[in-house]
Structure 1
């Protein structure tokens, strides 16, 4: 090779090595371009992008942190997705021990990023965020992902355990993330699932967000929090019984025609209060809506609010089913808590406000804050049906006479067939609502009657036949009590004549009865009992296996010699058994990559570790 050729090679080689990324790249697998997400993102920031870039992540657990800023070049959509299109096959995990940054992925001013079909698992009990975003992180899409957080019940530094977190308001700069989409994801544990705290100075908002069709389970305090945003929160399912206090959906300054609709919330708090939806501060904007939500809340002792609102402007609250199952006698199914006259701001129609905890079905501190209240069903098991301006009304007639509201309201117990599910079958309520021009149907997108419709989130036609539901149980739930609605004349398919029966096996159980409103029909449960190991992830802090991740050897410090153990995969399948010998490693070289469990036989304690 002559000197000129050598010089050309030296000049061209760096240019090839520094070419901007474009097209498809493998993370992991048999022919990887990158060993992990952090390396891929570092290269993307160093080289830039030209057009769309897709990182195909092959099955396995990838331990580490990754971050992106404003990507150099002319990037298109940056996609990170499982090569198998299955979120359970790919896990991004990290044990973010303080003072390390608290995230698995950090996005700061990064536009057009999509995560699809991947799992994020925050391993630390206290320092346990999955995604942290700030700046103009526009057009972020989280589609069909799984987020797993801490199970700690410690209420200190709670914001460190929010699974998807934006704290732009703390920076006092209105570089809010616009067009955020969180769709079809599953959130497990953590203090909160999603908290978007955008900057709101001078009316700034995180625009056009869509939080839809997500499942949120066992968060400690809140499912979704949005401050200073616009968009829709819809078709999410939020369930928990894990916290001292809980709010399913909480928004403030979520306005300019924003909608909270068709969400299902079933929540119970152990000690403190429990609220289904809390909405405030929509003043000076129009077209705001809360409709077709199913809300069931309860607490061991605390005060519950099914639907709480304050400081509103042009808010339509239509077709919601709201039930307080239990809690303090001060609980309210609907509560307008503004303690000042902030205008006639609420149109409240076609709702079910039901309080089985002896508190009022409806309470408004300032009566004038409700513009219209009519065609609602109010019911309380207590002595006060409604309260406005501190005046208590024992029944519907007294409330109508004292306030002039609710001329077409009803006062009766809907007798829900399958609490906490709020779908209805009532001959007394069928067709008692009045059509209203919002929404495209009920919670299941079934068409509403016009001009006559049903009250509550469920549009239905009463049947004197059979109402059926499926019920999946584990061996830990057995025996399980099936309870028919309040009424009389119970005739179970198994021969019982009581309101409730206990079941322990799979099968079909049905009961014909007449409910408290004189409606006769049959309720039926298709029960499936899954016999298996209902393993709960609970890892003592002083017994954490190491190293993390493990390759071929695993040590278990703090566990006495002679302790018997079983090693399982995350589906509960036993892979090997043994006895602990301190200082001697357990051979895990033959295990598949991913999360595994160790059950200590004598105590039942569960330890977790990741196999690389």
Structure 2
């Protein structure tokens, strides 16, 4: 560091010279002062930016204290990185650094993997925004009762690739912990990021205080437990592994994506939030509004989850839903017992291997489920609709209660099955399940309602995805068999078949219902009552058919396109007359297909609510990835990916040198990552990826290229 001369030193020189006039002239005085000012100008006026080193030898600063002091006194002119050499550093205090321009202040370990830079005692970051510590070992001193890491009033505080360990098993004071994130109680939200760290403490591992915080915790191994006494802020837990030592994770404002939970205890893990693609190896007492794509190895209780969506999960142990009005449970696999003590439950398109019981409430809707031959459906003092299911045993108590509509079910039980009531239009086909572990029907007599159009009932009675053209089923109509009219539900499609090889000199009308008006066997999806005509080219009517469309439950569904920060939504919901959009940024719309402009980039979970004339609702969630980066940007012609869709290998050809590739699921989970050593043409073996849709991100020196990717097994 250069010496700093202050005004006192300058006036002292003038004083000396004034008493030595016979030796030094006034001209020489001016020269001396000028030289002093010039030599010290960097220290008096220069702000810091660029790269510096901290360490015991041959470094710009010997201690953190010296470096932080210069940051406080001289300020910042740009981003700054301090490369910290191996060694032990004690009690680091970063505070009161003015940074209105949001420059990055990074402290980065600079050594080999076999060595380390250790911060012992405490690391405090107070009133100092945009501070990052990367690659350190951080642990409290023996017997220390105050927090090891304390970040307060410091937005965009980041810990990356650190080992943060309570190696002495210290017991912390009340409201203290291994990591304390102290947020304000009012004003703007402050952000904290913790990524790629190993964090371990037998108690108070992460303590969250205050209400105005947005916390992003990604790709960590966390041992211990989290404390959030005042339920403040929003907490995003993504791709972490939790080895929990306490049962309480029951905080508001939480989102869990791609995490793995372990909790070895006689108690249930009590947890609250929204859950996407997590895996639980513990009993769970869960409160949520959205539970999608998770795997639960042990028993789960869902309590007080009104109108929650439970979709695409695998439950390997018992599932219990209690006091949850209007819960929607669709497209799940249940290996053991299922129990509902709710009213107005929607239970559809599920696969069930054991007993399902409904023990309370009216308004139950049970449809399109596949039950194992040894399973049982029990309905105790409830009412609703039971239709289009493959059922083994059915028991209703009391059996004469007139509150159930039972129709179009297929009963598959063996001789030992017990059925108290078959209802109307019962079937008795063998479903021809794929095998005892894959309850998908192959009997064509149970497969129908096929079609290429959007439908809330994506699966038929057999839970097999609908096909186009559809197979044998009730909604395949040979057109000239019809005398007057047919009846459909709003979500149904119908195939019209002339039972001829070609359609000569004839066409279907009206045109807006027929993508191909000259097709021999078109599939149409009328939204409302419609009169269908078959005409010749002279406009003579050859035949006609009236289709009556009856009311049914709404189905919410939408697609979208992104251009910068603008998102155009295409609403393809069925059977709805009103719509509500929640754009996840505090703004809403009731337009059918709105265009929304976000103020900042990021990831957003958009919720579409579709409402029919009976005020029945359905929900659809859209996860928007990488907003602000356009697919097919300036790099589209310079980077080629093929084949797309792919089976196993993906070939990459680029006009630029590529240094890294990442692949994510549509919900944002990282499933593939590879560092590329500045290559332009190469191939990737992606055989390990499951068949699905993905987003691939390619890093080049010229920028980032993002594109959708489809993996299929043809």
TM-score by length of 1: 0.51
Encode CA deviations 1:168-212: one digit per residue, 9 max, x unaligned.
2xx53334313x32221111225244333342xxxxx434x4321
- Matched with 1:335 is 301
Match of 1:308 among 263, 267, 286: 286
Encode CA deviations 1:299-333: one digit per residue, 9 max, x unaligned.
xxxxxx42510xx6xx3211111123xxxxxxxx3
- Matched with 1:216 is 222
TM-score by length of 2: 0.45
Alpha-carbon spacing, 1:213–1:157, altered in 2? closer, same or farther (3 Å): same
Encode CA deviations 1:364-402: one digit per residue, 9 max, x unaligned.
1x131x42023333455xxx7525259xxx995551586
The reply on whether 1:362 has 2:320 as its aligned counterpart is yes
Aligned length: 363
Alpha-carbon spacing, 1:38–1:345, altered in 2? closer, same or farther (3 Å): farther
The separation in 1 between residues aligned to 2:284 and 2:666, in whole angstroms, is 22
- Matched with 1:345 is 307
Residue 7 of structure 1 and its aligned partner are, at CA, apart by: 1.8
Match of 2:280 among 284, 291, 295: 295
Q: RMSD of the TM alignment (CA)?
A: 4.0
* Mapping 1:266-281, distance limit 5 Å: 266-269=262-265, 273-275=267-269, 278-279=271-272
Q: Say whether the 8 Å CA contact 1:379–1:411 is kept in structure 2.
A: no
* Mapping 1:431-580, distance limit 5 Å: 440=665, 445=671, 446-447=689-690
Counterpart of 1:191 in 2: which secondary structure?
A: coil
Q: Say whether the 8 Å CA contact 1:378–1:411 is kept in structure 2.
A: no
Counterpart of 2:233 in 1: which secondary structure?
A: strand
Alpha-carbon spacing, 1:260–1:175, altered in 2? closer, same or farther (3 Å): same
- Matched with 1:264 is 260
The separation in 1 between residues aligned to 2:372 and 2:58, in whole angstroms, is 68
- Matched with 2:137 is 119
- Matched with 1:196 is 208
The separation in 2 between residues aligned to 1:441 and 1:226, in whole angstroms, is 33
Q: Say whether the 8 Å CA contact 2:106–2:134 is kept in structure 1.
A: yes
Encode CA deviations 1:405-436: one digit per residue, 9 max, x unaligned.
665376899xxxxxxxxxxxx97158798999
- Matched with 1:56 is 83
The separation in 2 between residues aligned to 1:174 and 1:4, in whole angstroms, is 52
Q: Say whether the 8 Å CA contact 1:47–1:72 is kept in structure 2.
A: no
The separation in 2 between residues aligned to 1:223 and 1:406, in whole angstroms, is 40
* Mapping 1:357-436, distance limit 5 Å: 360-364=318-322, 366-368=323-325, 370-379=326-335, 385-388=338-341, 397-400=355-358, 404=364, 407=367, 408=369, 428-429=437-438
The reply on whether 1:45 has 2:58 as its aligned counterpart is no
The separation in 1 between residues aligned to 2:311 and 2:94, in whole angstroms, is 47
When structure 1 is superposed on structure 2, of 188-197 and 35-44 the one drifting more is: 188-197
- Matched with 1:167 is 182
Q: Say whether the 8 Å CA contact 2:209–2:228 is kept in structure 1.
A: no
Q: Say whether the 8 Å CA contact 2:143–2:170 is kept in structure 1.
A: no
Q: Say whether the 8 Å CA contact 2:180–2:208 is kept in structure 1.
A: yes
Q: Say whether the 8 Å CA contact 1:361–1:379 is kept in structure 2.
A: no
Alpha-carbon spacing, 1:174–1:410, altered in 2? closer, same or farther (3 Å): farther
Residue 222 of structure 1 and its aligned partner are, at CA, apart by: 3.2
Residue 67 of structure 1 and its aligned partner are, at CA, apart by: 2.1
Alpha-carbon spacing, 1:430–1:395, altered in 2? closer, same or farther (3 Å): closer
Residue 75 of structure 1 and its aligned partner are, at CA, apart by: 6.2
- Matched with 2:37 is 11
Counterpart of 1:5 in 2: which secondary structure?
A: helix
Q: Say whether the 8 Å CA contact 1:350–1:434 is kept in structure 2.
A: no
The reply on whether 1:317 has 2:291 as its aligned counterpart is yes
The reply on whether 1:233 has 2:237 as its aligned counterpart is yes
The separation in 1 between residues aligned to 2:186 and 2:169, in whole angstroms, is 32
* Mapping 1:82-161, distance limit 5 Å: 82-84=109-111, 86=113, 89-94=116-121, 104-135=122-153, 137-149=154-166, 152=169, 157=173, 159-161=175-177
The separation in 1 between residues aligned to 2:332 and 2:297, in whole angstroms, is 13
Residue 116 of structure 1 and its aligned partner are, at CA, apart by: 1.4
Encode CA deviations 1:39-70: one digit per residue, 9 max, x unaligned.
32222112211111111100111122312224
Q: Say whether the 8 Å CA contact 1:225–1:250 is kept in structure 2.
A: no
Alpha-carbon spacing, 1:87–1:437, altered in 2? closer, same or farther (3 Å): farther
Q: Say whether the 8 Å CA contact 1:347–1:373 is kept in structure 2.
A: yes
Encode CA deviations 1:226-248: one digit per residue, 9 max, x unaligned.
944346321111124xx3x334x
Residue 14 of structure 1 and its aligned partner are, at CA, apart by: 4.5
The separation in 2 between residues aligned to 1:278 and 1:345, in whole angstroms, is 18
The separation in 2 between residues aligned to 1:434 and 1:181, in whole angstroms, is 43
The separation in 2 between residues aligned to 1:449 and 1:433, in whole angstroms, is 19
The reply on whether 1:187 has 2:199 as its aligned counterpart is yes
Q: Say whether the 8 Å CA contact 1:232–1:260 is kept in structure 2.
A: yes
The separation in 2 between residues aligned to 1:114 and 1:401, in whole angstroms, is 54
The runs of 5 or more residues in structure 1 that have no matched partner are 95-103, 200-204, 281-288, 298-304, 325-332, 414-425, 451-459, 462-612
- Matched with 1:246 is 247
